Structure 1
Amino acid sequence: MVLQLLPVNLIAGLWRNIECRCTLWTQKERFLIFYG
């Protein structure tokens, strides 16, 4: 059970990290478009 759940947690963690980076990037783009 633990071995089956571990990869899911890893993938979820990586996905959250990617989502955070994407949201930060879109905020940077909006900032640059607005002030650039």
Structure 2
Amino acid sequence: MQRCLYFSTFSLPLYFHMFLCILRLHYLSMFPLFSQF
């Protein structure tokens, strides 16, 4: 039970971090100008 809770608390920030990375890549591909900064 504890192990399941332990993984669930770590999986949410992980998915959020992946979402942010994908979002950032999406914006960088949309605006090539901002990729220099």
Instruction: Classify the TM-score, shorter chain.
Output: 0.7 to 0.9
Structure 1 stretches of 4+ moved >2 Å: none
Determine the structure 2 residue equivalent to 1:29: 25
Task: List gaps (5 residues or longer) in structure 1.
Answer: none
The CA RMSD over aligned residues, in Å, is 0.7
Task: List gaps (5 residues or longer) in structure 2.
Answer: 33-37
What TM-score does the superposition give when structure 2 sets the normalisation length? 0.76
Q: Which has the higher contact order (CA 8 A, sep 6+)?
A: 2
